[in-house]
Amino acid sequence: MSLIVVGSMAFDAIETPFGKSDKIVGGAATYIAWSASNFTRPVKQISVVGGDFPKQELKMLEARGVLLEGVQVKEKEKSFFWSGRYHMDMNTRDTLETQLNVLGNFRPVVPDNYQDCEYLMLGNLAPSVQISVINQLKSKPKLVVMDTMNFWMDTAMKDLEKVIKKVDVLLVNDSEARQLSGQFSLVSAARAIMEMGPKYLIIKKGEHGALLFNDDKVFFAPALPLEVVFDPTGAGDTFAGGFIGHLASKKDISFETMKAGIIVGSAMASFCVEKFGTARLKELTRADIDNRIQMFRELTKFNIELSE
Ligand code: AMP
């Protein structure tokens, strides 16, 4: 099986009520690759960076089994830059600045040895880029998962609708689900969004977990209650990487495996928020992940016997 990841690789500057980062490495595809490579390798990456992107970061990803043949390096240009400020609840944030830079005129090229793709993860970036990758694949992948955000709903809604039509699983957060559907109830929003194309919809609710919808079925995964949340940036992408990485490793796309996938995604996201940027993801061992998944089992396990 092989997994293609498409998305931004970037610099981020983050402010939380408790601290502030300098310009650090981030980007949707960066987080997805760090997360998914725990479960499946190689991860075949498609993105674009400027000459300012640290070569050392690219080397670390390669050492993890992330193929970078599809990552264009534009030496004379600047990498995508995003800055955001979290509110007191650490669940909501404002984008302070988005500088598209190299992402502004990115034309992705799918290398020949990526054509065996069975799992396609369309991470957050311009919908026109996401659709171009789908169109370059000679055979349809077994599963196409897509993430997006309000920025693209505000600036490229027409293109976004075209991609949404072509994907199997769409991932959005709760406010994006409401914006996309115009519905307040998440159940009504899910129904409306699934009518736009995807058979499955995942709605992320930050510290309140995630919902998986398919037809009339719904499954809920909690988020791990954590004492310290340092930086939520990338949690959604890390979730997506865990989700699709798990499905690819199981070679199965049934609803049951997707349920396990959203638990794996939630476990991975719970690590991401513990340090700034990708720092926590870089130090994880298999034992750390196994332990955390066990914590999710404990968190949701209960017996009920009602008396007569
Ligand atoms: P998340 O916290 O999972 O929503 O993802 C945050 C990551 O998304 C950051 O590392 C940003 O670099 C990246 N990002 C923010 N805005 C955009 C955008 N408009 N397009 C692509 N990537 C973005």
Q: Residues 269-289: pLDDT tens digits?
A: 999 999 999 999 999 999 999
Residues 91, 94, 97, 101, CA torsion sign: positive
CB 264 within 8 Å of CB 293: yes
Question: Which residue has its alpha carbon closest to ligand 1 atom 13?
Answer: 27
pLDDT band, residue 16 (cuts 50/70/90): very high
Which pair of structure tokens corresponds to residue 208?
């309140």
| CA of 126 relative to ligand 1 center, distance in Å | 11
Measured CA to CA, the distance from residue 242 to residue 234 in angstroms comes to 12
Q: Percent of the chain, pLDDT > 70? A: 100
Question: Which residue has its alpha carbon closest to ligand 1 atom 20?
Answer: 125
- Single out the residue of 278, 204, 284 nearest to residue 28, CA to CA: 278
Question: Which residue has its alpha carbon closest to ligand 1 atom 19?
Answer: 151
SS3 172: strand
CB 167 within 8 Å of CB 190: no
pLDDT of residue 204: 96
163: CB partners within 8 A, 6+ apart: 122, 127, 130, 131, 134, 146, 148
Show the ligand 1 pocket: residues with CB < 6 angstroms: 8, 10, 12, 26-28, 82, 98, 124-125, 149, 151, 233-237
pLDDT band, residue 128 (cuts 50/70/90): very high
Q: Which of 5, 80, 102 should be mutated for ligand 1, with most atoms under 8 A from CB? A: 80
Using the predicted structure, report yes or no on whether residue 228 has a pLDDT greater than 90: no
Instruction: Over range 29-50, report the average pLDDT.
Output: 98
- Single out the residue of 152, 168, 150 nearest to residue 160, CA to CA: 152
Using the predicted structure, report yes or no on whether residue 59 has a pLDDT greater than 90: yes
pLDDT of residue 1: 65
